[in-house]
Every structure is written in C-alpha cells, then in structure tokens.
Amino acid sequence: MQSGEAAFNDFVAARTAALSRTAYLLTGDHHLAEDLLQTALLQAARHWERIHTAPEAYVRRVLYNQNVSWWRRRKLRETTLGTYDAAAPASSPDLRLTLEEALGRLTAKQRTVLVLRYFEDLTEVQAAAALGISAGTVKSMTRQALARLRVLAPELSELIGATP
Amino acid sequence: MTDALREELARIGDGAAPVAVSSDVWARGRRARRRDRLAAGGAALSVLVVLAGAGLTLRGSGSDVPPVATGVEAVPSVIHPVPERLGFGGIDADATWKPSIGESDLAIGRASVAFASGGYQPLPAVITAADGAYHLLQLPGWIGTSLAANMTPGMPLALSPDGRSLAWGWYDASTRGSAQVTAGVRIVDLETGRIRTIRLEGARGVEVASLQWSPDSRWLVWQGAELKRWEVNNTSWGRNVAGRIAPGATVSTSIAVSRGGGEQLAIDDEGTVAWVADGSYRFNRLDLAGTSTGHIDVLGNRPVAAGRFGPGASFAFATNESSSVATFFYEEPRRTPDDDGTLAYKDNAAMVPVAPTTRDLPDDRFPADIEPMGWIDPDHVVELVTPVHPISEAGWTEGDSELVVMSLGDGEQPAYDAVAHVAQGEEHDGRIRGVTVAVDLMTLDHPTRDFPAPEWPWSDERKLAVFGGAGVAVVAALVFVVSYRRGRRQTP
C-alpha cells in the first residue's frame, strides 16, 4: 500500500496540468490560478485521510468554492455596477482574448458555473452538487452569465448564441 | 452554439501553463493538520480544566433541548448535520459510515426526514418519526459518494411522503470499469427492511442523480445520466435520461421527453410526469401512455427546483425569475369520466389553469433557493428555503435553511411560517444535502415537534479534553492536598 505522501505526490504529478487549466479558467489570471491550486492542494494534504479515495473531486470543489470566496473578499475593489455591463472594447480581433476579457468581468459564481457547465461538461445537477446550490440556481445563473457575455462582448454572439 | 463555447474554453484552458506546485505542499498540509488537532485539543483541554476545577460536569450538547414528544410520530423542529468524522473513506472503496455506528439493518421504522450529511462525501442519514433518532444507514451500493459519482453527492436520496419508503441511487462498485456498470434505483420498506432493486441500463451505466416520489408514496420518478466512461476518478457523462417506477415494480419505464436543460421532473399519483420546460416556459405533462397531455403557460416563470404535485390537481414550483422568489400554485381539472367511462381530457379548456397564486419570500429571506417538499393540504405547501448569499442582518449565514409552510389561502395562517430549522455543520460548507421530508406527518396545528438533539460518539479531541482534563484536575487536586498538608506540618 502506498504511503499518504507518495499517493499525494502521484496525484499531484498526474493531475496538476488538468487542474491548472481549470484554475486558470476560474480566475483568468496565472498568478491567481497558481495561488488557488496551491491552496486547494494544501487543503487536500491536510484532509488526506478523508479524501484520498477521491482527491480530485475534493480539490475541484475547493477550487470552485475558494475562488468564489476569494472573489467575495475582492469584490469591493471591483468596478461599480454602472460600468459593469458596458460592452468590452471590440478592438481586439482575437476572439479568445475577447472571451477571456468578457469572462473576467463576470462574477466569480457566474464564471464558475460557465466553467463547470461548458469546460468540465457537468450537468446542471452535477454542477449544483459541486457548488452546493440548487440545480435551478445553476440554470438561472448560467443563463444570466451567457446574457452578460452577450452584453459585454456582442461580437461573441456566434460563440454563445445571439438570443437568450 | 454552446459547443463553440466549449471548444473556445478548452482552447483557453490549453493555453494555461501548468502550475509549479511547491514541493513542500504535503509537509505544510500535514503540519496544518497537526496544528488543527493540537489547537482543538488544547482549547478544549483548557476549557475543561477550568470546568473540572470548578466542579462542573460536562453534559452532552442535547441536554438543554425540550422534552421528547414520546410516541408521537412527527417531523423534528431542528435537523442536525452529522459530523464528518463519523464517515470513513476506505482504501479503494467509497466512503461509508464507520462500521461501529453505521446501520445495515434498514428496518428502522417510519421516518420523518432523510438527508445526506458529512462534508464533501455526504452519506445517507434518516430520522425516525416516533423518537427523532438519527440512523446513519449503510445503504447497499449508495451512489452518492461513489468515486465515479462524486460530482452528485447526496442528491439521489428520497424519503416517501408517508415516511415508510426510502429510495436511493445505487451501483455495484465491483463492476466499475466494465462494459456495463451495474446500477439503478433501490427502494427499502423502512418497516420491514425489504429492499426492491431496479436495474437501469444504458451506455456504460446509468448514474441516478435525483429522485422524487408521488404524493401517495407509490410512484417514483428518477433522473440521471448515461455514462460514457465510468472508472475510478475517470468519468464522462453522456445524455440525460429519466424514468418512472410503478408501484411495486422492479423495472423502470424510460421517459422519452425532450428536455433541453435537464428540467427536473415531478410525478403524480397516476404516474403522470410533469416538468416546466426551460425554454418555452410551459408546464408539460406526460401520462402513462406516453402522451403529452398538457401544455400550460406558466407566465414566464422558470422553476429553480422540481415542482411537487399536491391534492386537488394542484402543482407547486418555486421560481427566482423575477425580483422576488415566489411559489406558484396551479389548479386544473383532472381527466373526467367520458361517456364510456374512460378518463379523458374534454377539450383544451380543461388545460387552462386557475390563475396562479404567488407567495413572495419575506425580504429578509431573499435571495434564496426554494424547493417544494410537498403539500400539507390543498392550501399549504412545505418548502425548504436556503439563502443564496449571507444575510447577516437577518442572523443568517450562507447555508442556513429552514422548512417553511407557505399558505395559499387568506385565512388566519401566516403566508410564511418557518416550522423547522436545518442546522448548519461546521465542516466544509456545512450544508446538509438532499433533504426530503415525510410531509404526511405534518399538520397545520403540529407541523413539527421538538426532539432531543442527537448524541454523537465523542471525537478524539473531546476524549482527550475530557479524560486529559480530568487527569489534570486530579493531579492539581493532589498537588493542592500535598501542599496543604506540608503547610500544616510546617505551621508551629
């Protein structure tokens, strides 16, 4: 039987790349993604006895919830609602950059829901379970997030659909 | 459209550089763990030494609760979470209750509440109606914390409205990774302990994610997903699937509904399944013959959870579509006997609902998730209300929930009557998940009753604090006595 440390290290080696992608999509910032993933892995090491049978599920949950928690602490410094929904400058021809910019102006929960639904490919029920909210809230939050993306970046309509 | 979004997100993700994880993460995590234990033990020890010195005895957390309503079957006024430490994550096995506390004999008697608790890998717990006792059940094949199904914890669990049957999603872990993982729905009669197994097949296996009973506790509807891959920590979900299970049946009938958003299903006493379509805002029903029997405009209101059929052909669902959260009550004529005695809808007029009634949440409870649990009578629906955001001014924190009786009528009953509190745990997000309530046990006069709080086995920290504290107190007393005697001997 593997020791806890060896199993943890194996897990980190095998899953860091995938978890890094998720962390980056959740935060939109390489440094924040690094902090977020390190925090999640630290928590995993801390509670390894409990979660060693399914560490990835635990780490992902921490990523999702910690990101929202961090955002709450940061949000007072963010832009006011008056400018929040203003369309992003459409000068960039790079669609990816535009989507990244637009994602960065969503709330953490909206962004997290989109990542869960369209990157992790979770169903509404699965996303709801991961975030500890109802499936209906996931549904309405997804719709609100897509609607805000349309407002923020109208040029993304072909990507996310032109109508709600 | 959303496929393009998926692809674009995948491209953005692929552009992210892998995080350089510090080599000392494990060591720091373990140090933090040791600090947790020391801090907990030390804090408790300090307190207990003081208490012991003062000659006080420790009593359990439930010592101050009101007296038991002996012999009266009821829903408890407080629902407590189960400490995470009572669960056990086995080697290469799904989490389960510790063998010393988990119950394998499921003949526990009529129940009042079922829920999943215990942190990130919630396990099933049931409260019995007569005594308010908590039973941590070892449900065979419980899927809620399986390694494969770890994204849907606590959801596939449903207590029937009469409190006599419990349904859950199950799977056979030994078949994981095979071409067809054995899985499905299980139902136990809580009075006899007899289990009915319904196997579901599709793709690599069918993972049941949610369940709902009909108001008469006979029919069951389930929702889930076919899995394209089902291995340890490696799963891939396919299409959403659903089905209904007839009274006493050991097979499920597939429900072929076009559900773009995976709308949540409800079922009535005749086996008719209903849902509110996500895109069209229509209330749809599908009868046993597979015929769509009604499309009723719900006036632009989208549900946030599965609705519930009630008495008198009524249906309740909750929405947060507008600026407030409301519960809608619909009433419509049921099928009436035709000339030849068969039941049929007469015409489209039969589909028109009575104007919906709404009940807004109080200001100090909004915004919140609101989930119908069932009906007490034609005018009263039981809801589970959980605030979405912290509401400090109302004394709530995120995750607090309460059971509420919402009144449709204009009588003396209040429109919003909180009748039970769902206590929040201290671990992780602290939420109890997948709560279902035996609403048949609730009446307007006595919706809930007080029961003693559960007495959980002591934690290691508490044992250390109590026994260590007692030891320290004894030593302190001995030192005092010895010092006192020496002082007396030295006194001239």
Q: What is the pLDDT of residues A87-141, one digit of tens each?
A: 444 444 455 557 888 888 888 888 888 998 888 888 777 787 777 777 777 888 8
Residue B175, min C-alpha distance to chain A (Å): 17
What residues of A are in contact with residue B6 (Cβ under 8 Å)? 118-119, 121
Q: Do residues B192 and B53 share a domain?
A: no
CB contact (8 A) between residue B304 and residue A137: yes
According to the model, what pLDDT value does residue B46 have?
Answer: 56
Q: Looking at the structure, do residues B212 and B227 belong to the same domain, yes or no? A: yes
Considering the domain architecture, whether residues B53 and B102 belong to the same structural domain is answered as: no
Q: In what order do the strands lie in the sheet with B433-437?
A: B134-136, B123-128, B111-117, B433-437
For chain B, how big is the Rg over CA atoms in Å? 26
- Closest residue, chain A, to B431 (C-alpha): A132
CA dist A85 and A158 (Å) reads 19
Q: Is residue B75 part of a domain?
A: yes
Q: Which residues does A61 contact at the CB level (< 8 Å), separation at least 6?
A: A130, B120
B92 shares a domain with B41: no
Can you tell me which residue has the tokens 């079957």? B73
Token pair listed for B241? 């699937």
Question: What is d(CA B364, CA B396) in angstroms, rounded to the nearest whole number?
Answer: 9
Range of the domain at B189: 70-264+432-454
Residues in chain B closer than 8 A to A53 (CB atoms):
89-95, 147
User: Minimal Cα distance from B224: which residue of A?
Assistant: A125
Residue A22 structure tokens? 């998720």
Contact status, residue B212 vs residue B159, Cβ threshold 8 Å:
no
- From chain A, pick out residues whose CB is under 8 angstroms from the CB of B209: 123, 125-126
Tell if the CB–CB gap between B155 and A133 is shorter than 8 Å.
no
pLDDT of residue B301: 60
The residue of chain A nearest to residue B10, with distances taken between CA atoms, is A119
User: B292, B312, B311, B315: which is closest to B303 by C-alpha?
Assistant: B315
With beta carbons under 8 A apart, name residues in chain A contacting B17.
20, 30
The answer to whether B308 contacts chain A (CB < 8 Å) is: no
Question: Is residue B354 assigned to a domain?
Answer: no
Tell me B461's DSSP state: H
What is the Cα–Cα distance from B157 to B159, expressed in whole angstroms? 7
Quote the tokens at residue B457. 């086995």
| d(C-alpha B94, C-alpha B109), whole Å | 27
Residues in B 144-163 with any Cβ partner in A closer than 8 A: 145, 147, 150-155
Of A44, A53, A139, the CB nearest to B94: A53
Q: How far apart (Å, rounded) are the C-alpha atoms in residues B410 and B36?
A: 53
In this predicted structure, what is the pLDDT of residue B99? 84
C-alpha span between B143 and B157 (Å, rounded): 9
Which residues, given as ranges, of chain B have pLDDT below 50? 55-69, 91, 149-154, 261, 322-324, 333, 345-352, 390-398
- CB distance from B491 to chain A under 8 Å? no
The pLDDT score that the predictor gives to residue B351 is 43
Residues B43 and B91 placed together within one structural domain of the fold: no
Residue of B nearest to A60 (CA): B151
Pairwise CB contact (< 8 Å): A48 & B29 = yes
Whether residue B304 and residue A1 make contact (CB cut-off 8 A), yes or no, is no
Which residues in chain A are closer than 8 Å to B436, comparing Cβ atoms? none
What is the side-by-side strand order in the sheet with B195-200? B157-159, B165-171, B183-189, B195-200
Residues 6 or more apart from B405 whose CB is under 8 A from it?
B376, B380, B381, B382, B383, B413, B417, B419, B442, B444, B447
In DSSP notation, chain A reads: ---HHHHHHHHHHHHHHHHHHHHHHHHSSHHHHHHHHHHHHHHHHHTHHHHTTSHHHHHHHHHHHHHHHHHHHHGGGS--HHHHTSPPPTT---HHHHHHHHHTTS-HHHHHHHIIIIIS---HHHHHHHHTS-HHHHHHHHHHHHHHHHHH-GGGHHHH-S--
Residues from chain B that touch A46, judged by Cβ atoms under 8 A, are: 29-30, 32-33, 36
- Going by C-alpha positions, the residue among B82, B73, B65, B72 that lies closest to residue B434 is B82
Cα of A102 to nearest chain B Cα, Å: 12
Question: Is A65 within 8 Å of A132 (Cβ atoms)?
Answer: yes
Rounded to whole angstroms, how far apart are CA atoms A114 and A107?
11
Cβ contacts (< 8 Å) between A148 and chain B: which residues?
none
CATH of domain A80-155: 1.10.10.10
pLDDT averaged over every residue in chain A? 76
Residues B488 and B447 grouped into a single domain: no
Contact status of B434 with chain A (Cβ, < 8 Å): no
| d(CA A132, nearest CA chain B) in Å | 7
Domains contained in chain B, number: 2
Q: pLDDT exceeding 90 applies to what percent of chain A? A: 6
Q: How far apart, in Å, are the Cα atoms of A160 and each of A9, A86, A156, B3, B7? A: 39, 18, 6, 9, 11
For CA atoms B341, B215, B374, B209, the dihedral sign is negative
**Chain A, nearest residue to B8 by Cα:** A96
pLDDT digits over B113-140, tens only? 999 886 567 789 999 999 999 999 999 9
Whether B373 maps to a domain, the answer reads no
Who among A5, A99, A134 is closest to B8 (CB)?
Answer: A99
Residue B2 and residue A34: Cβ atoms within 8 Å?
A: no
Q: Is B54 on the interface with A (CB under 8 A)?
A: no
Interatomic CA distance for residues B399 and B429, integer angstroms: 7
**Do B448 and B466 lie in a common domain?**
no
Q: Transcribe B171-186 into DSSP letters.
A: E-GGGTTSSS--EEEE
Å from B473 to nearest chain A CA? 33
Beta carbons of B302 and A17 less than 8 Å apart: no
The residue-averaged pLDDT of A58-73 equals: 74
Residues B38 and B113 placed together within one structural domain of the fold:
no
Residue A21 structure tokens = 């992608």
Q: Which of A136, A159, A161 sits opposite B305 (nearest CB)?
A: A136
Q: List chain A residues with CB under 8 Å of B225.
A: 123
> Are B37 and B99 in the same domain?
no
Q: Is there a contact between B93 and A53 if contact means CB atoms under 8 Å apart?
A: yes
Sort out which chain A residues have CB atoms less than 8 A from B5's CB and list them. 114, 118, 159-160
Indicate the domain borders of chain A.
Answer: 1-78, 80-155
Q: Give SS3 for B347.
A: coil
Chain A residues in contact with B277 (beta carbon < 8 A): none
Contact list in B for residue A8 (CB cut-off 8 A) is 26
Residues B34 and B134 in one domain: no
Q: A113 to chain B: which residues are within 8 Å by CB? A: none
From A119, A130, A139, residue closest to B151, measured CB to CB? A130
Instruction: Looking at the complex, report in whole angstroms how far the Cα of residue A103 sits from the nearest Cα belonging to chain B.
Output: 10
